[in-house]
Amino acid sequence: MTDATDAVLDSVAVDRAAELIAQATNIVVLSGAGISAESGIPTFREAQTGLWARFSPADLASPEAFARDPARVWAWYHWRRTLIARGGPNAGHHALVSLAATQHLHIITQNVDGLHQAAGSASVTELHGNIWRERCSNCAHRRTARIAEAQGDAPVRCADCGDLMRPDIVWFGEHLPTRALATAEQAVADADCVLVIGTSNQVYPAAAFVDTVVAGKATVIEINPARTPVSGDVDCCLRVSASLALPAIVAALDAGQPSR
């Protein structure tokens, strides 16, 4: 956790965020690992709790790692799926569902956990794939991941060609899915208000969206307990957890007036 995690909710910033959202007609959310942190899913980059503090990305999330030791990579993703299944969506994910009931809202996420959809968000673009899908490393075969199956965390083989199945996610050194990228670019170009939630804005090319947004015409709200490279350039900063900030913004909007 960051040293700002215990920060108090700033009601002036909540009111400002609610005002910017109320004025907008086309809202885009750019979400990162931080929105799922309070579901018990470690983020990648935080020094104390981030996944990479204990594991090296090169050992686990790259095609080379999978070629070298598929069982180890498979076991790691199996462990992450159990964490996600156990944690489920949190108040931040749920608040975005509430927000979409009254606002035109599209979510672009770097997360692979599927928790926006699990909460009930319908309009979601996944830039890095989804941990609940698996695909063959050789042919076009895909299937839904099953955490409770007999193989446990052992690598699964393709039912069509016998090659190894792998998580249908974008690993380091791989390209982002073309269609998701195009959808995200269009959504960001059309947005008049962008919420940047729980991302360190350091992992490219996803971070480029944030750079584009802060340079553009849309108003930008950042929700993150820690400062990021774009914090100085946004219209409104809520330096608290997403599960605290988002329900407060929804409540302020529901009240139709600034929160007290």
CA angle 152, 61, 117 (to 5 degrees): 70
Q: Which is nearer to ligand NAD, 53 or 122 (CB)?
A: 53
Is 159 near Zn ion (CB under 5 A)?
no
For the chain, the residue count is: 260
Helix, strand or coil for residue 151?
coil
Of these partners, ligand NAD, Zn ion, none, which one is at the site of residue 161 (CB under 5 to 8 Å by kind)? Zn ion
Q: Tell me how far apart the alpha carbons of residues 225 and 51 are, in angstroms, rounded to a whole number.
A: 18
Q: Map the footprint of Zn ion across residues 35-74, applying CB under 5 A.
A: none
CB of 164 to Zn ion, least distance (A): 9
SS3 letters across 75-122: HHHHHHHHHHHHHCCCHHHHHHHHHHHHCCEEEEECCCCCHHHHHCCC
Rg (CA), the chain: 19
Q: Map the footprint of ligand NAD across residues 209-248, applying CB under 6 A.
A: 223-226, 228, 241-242
Is 78 noted as a catalytic residue in this protein?
A: no
The pair of structure tokens assigned to 11 is 């009601």
Is 160 near Zn ion (CB under 5 A)?
yes
Q: Tell me how far apart the alpha carbons of residues 99 and 113 are, in angstroms, rounded to a whole number.
A: 21
User: Which segment (32-40, 64-72, 150-158, 173-181) binds ligand NAD by CB under 6 A?
Assistant: 32-40
Helix, strand or coil for residue 136?
strand
Is 141 near ligand NAD (CB under 6 A)?
no
Q: Which of the residues 78, 93, 106, 128 is marked catalytic?
A: 128
Q: Which is nearer to Zn ion, 42 or 167 (CB)?
A: 167
Q: Which is nearer to Zn ion, 158 or 207 (CB)?
A: 158
User: Which segment (87-95, 159-167, 190-198, 226-234) binds Zn ion by CB under 5 A?
Assistant: 159-167
Q: Which residue is nearest to ligand NAD (CB)?
A: 34
The residue behind tokens 């981030």 is 50
Q: Tell me how far apart the alpha carbons of residues 10 and 16 are, in angstroms, rounded to a whole number.
A: 10
Per CB under 6 A, residues contacting ligand NAD are 2, 32-38, 41, 43-46, 50-51, 110-113, 128, 198-200, 202-203, 223-226, 228, 241-242
